[in-house]
Structure 1
Amino acid sequence: MFWEEKMERKGLLLLTAVLMLTACKKEEKPQGKAIARVDDIYLLEEDLKVLQVPGLSWSEEDRSLLLDNWIRNTLLYLGAREEGLDQDPLLKRKLLWSERMLLAQEYLKRKSAGLTVTDEEIDDFLKDREELFKQGISIVIVFFSDSNRAPYIRKLLRRRGRRYRYAMEELRNQSDINVTELDSVNLGYLFLEFRSIPEVLKEKLRWMRKGQVSKVFSADGEYVIIKLLEKFPLVPQKSEVRSYIRQVLYERKRAALEDSLVEALRKKFEVEKISGGS
C-alpha cells in the first residue's frame, strides 16, 4: 500500500510538472518570487499555489522532484519552440482544444462549488439499504453482446470444482466475452458502483445462494450474467460507509448539474452536427 501511494504521489507530481508549462512566464523581470529559471522562462512560487493538487502536501523531496521535472519539460518545450513546432497548424488546434477543455472543466468546477450532501440525505439514502453494507460477496460477472450465447455461458458457470476452473479459462479465451471477477466486495458498494444493475437483480443478489447463477439481463447495451461465489457477513465502519455514500451522492449531483447546464446552453447557442456526425 505504501509503495502504491508513493508511486501515485510521484505520478501526480509528474503530471503537475507537465501542466506547469502552461504557467511558465516569459519575462526578464518576473513579478513574484522566482524559484526556477530556464533561459527566459521562470517558475514562480505563485505557480505552485495555482497548480497545487487538492489534498496533496509537498515535502522537500516532492518539491525537488517537481522542480527537476519542470526543468526537463521546459527544456523540451524550448527545443520544440526552436524547431518551430509552436507554429504547426495541427499542434495549434490541439492547444486550442486543450484550452477549451481546461476552461470547460473550470466552468463546471465553479458552478458546482456550492454543491453539498447533507447528513439527512445520507440517512434517507440508507433507508432500506443499510443491511446491504453488512454483506460481503465474491461474484463473477460475464458481459457479452450476443444473447444467443447466454445458454452456453450459463452452462459453463454452473460447473463446479476443477471443471469450473476449466470453464472459466474457456470463457476468458472467447473474444466476444468479457469476464470480471470481484473478490470480497461490499454488497452496498457494489450496488452504488453498478447503478445499471436492474432492481430485480439487486434484490435477488441479497438472497442468492453460493454457486447460484443469475438469469441473463441487459445493462449499458450489453448482456450480463452473474454467478455468486461466496457470501459472508461484514462489520463496516459506519463513518467509512457514510463518507463513501456522501461522495457518490455528490458525484450524482454534479453529473445532474452538468446535464442541466448543457441543456440550458443548448438553448442559448446554436448546435449542429455537420456531415459525418451521427
Structure 2
Amino acid sequence: MVDNAPERVVGSKSFTAVAINCAAKAGEWIQSKIGSVKQLDTKYSMHDLVTEVDKGSERMIRNLIGTHFPHHSFLGEEGVEPGPEAAAKALQDVSDAEYLWIVDPVDGTTNYVHGFPFYSVSIALAHRGQVIVGVVYDPSRDELFIAERGKGAYVHGRKVEASKEGTLGTSLLATGFPAEHLTALPANLREIGAIAPKVRNLRSSGSAALHLAYVASGRLSGFWEHNLSAWDIAAGSLLVEEAGGRMSDLAGEPYHLGVRDIVATNSLVHDELVSELKKASAAK
C-alpha cells in the first residue's frame, strides 16, 4: 500500500526541518522573555498555569508552520479550552486530518515561571493519526531531541538509545503530579508510595515532553503520568519508540494519540512497571 510506505509518509526532510526551525525560534524567544512575565493565569486548576509567553510561542509556531504547510491541520495547547474533556474533543475534531501538527509551546510553564530550568517546546507531526516527526527542544540547555519514524532518535545529531537497566531495582524513574486533584493525584500518590521503595530513585521535574526525551536518551529508565494531553506526549512518544523504548497506557495497551495516562520505558522494565502500577491501583 502506497499510503503506508515510509518514504511516502515522511516525504522530504522539510517536515523535520520546519519542526526544528519552529522549536529553535520559539525556544530562543521563550528564553528572551525569562523574568518578564506580566500576566499569569490558571487554567484547569491552580497548578495549571498559562502566560502570555505560552500564547506568543504558540502563535509563532502556528504562523511558521502555516507559511510552509498552509493546508496542514494544527492542534496546540493554547487553542483548546482547559480540562480533559475539551482536550479529548479537540483531538477528535482533527482526527480525520491527513497531516496534523501537535504542539505544546511551553511544556513546563510552572517551571518557567519560577525560573526552574526544566521546560521545553514540543512539536510533533502526525500523518493519518501516526506520529512521523517528533522534536523536543530544551532552550535552557540548548538540547534538541529529534526523531523521524523509522530513522532513529537523536540529540545534538548523535543517535541515542534507551537505557539498558533490566529491573526496577536498578532503574531511575520519573513521574508527574497531575493538575486534577480528585482522582488523578490521589492515584499518582498511591503509585509513588508503591514504586519508590522498589526503584533506585524517583524524580518529578515537571515537563512530560522532557521526561520522555530523557527516557529516549537513556537518562531515565522509565516515566509515567496521569491525565496528559496529546500535545504533552506526541513528540516524546516517537523519541521513545525510535530509541528502542516502549510506550503504553497504564494497562500496558499500545499508545495512541488519545491515550492520557501513559507509561514510557526502555522496554526492558516495562512489564514490571505496569504490573506494579496495576497493583497500586488495585490496593486503593
Whether the TM-score (by the shorter chain) exceeds 0.5 is no
Structure with higher Rg: it is 1
* TM-score between the two structures when normalised by the length of structure 2: 0.20
Could you say which structure has the higher strand fraction?
Answer: 2
Q: Would you tell me which structure has more helix in proportion to its own residues?
A: 1
